[in-house]
């Protein structure tokens, strides 16, 4: 899956806010894992890149992935805590 599609999917999942259930949290986690995998692949390709232009483009892509993942991880943790609190109050 391309980074653009992953970003789009991540955006939709982040827009759910606190209305997310366990299913949405699981989907968010999978998207974050795919972004991390893509980031690792870009880091590996950066080491093999030869041209300065190509290296700069790969570095920029890595930075974008880092920022998006950071946002997603923050929301993931918040949603996970919210669901855990809901489960504690219902018991």
What's the pTM value of the predicted model, to 2 decimals?
0.77
Q: What pLDDT digit, counting tens, does each position of 19-65 carry?
A: 667 788 888 999 999 999 999 999 999 989 889 999 999 999 999 99
Output the pLDDT for position 19: 62
Residues 34 and 1: beta-carbon distance below 8 Å = yes
Question: Of 39, 38, 44, 16, which Cα lies nearest the Cα of 28?
Answer: 16
Tokens of 91: 């018991």
């Amino acid at each position: 899956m391309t980074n653009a599609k992953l970003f789009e999917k991540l955006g939709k999942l982040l827009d759910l806010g606190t209305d997310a259930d366990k299913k949405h949290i699981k989907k968010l986690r999978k998207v974050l894992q795919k972004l991390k995998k893509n980031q690792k692949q870009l880091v590996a390709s950066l080491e093999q890149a030869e041209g300065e232009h190509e290296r700069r483009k790969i570095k920029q892509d890595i930075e974008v992935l880092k920022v998006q993942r950071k946002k997603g991880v923050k929301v993931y943790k918040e949603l996970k805590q919210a669901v855990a609190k809901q489960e504690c109050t219902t018991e």
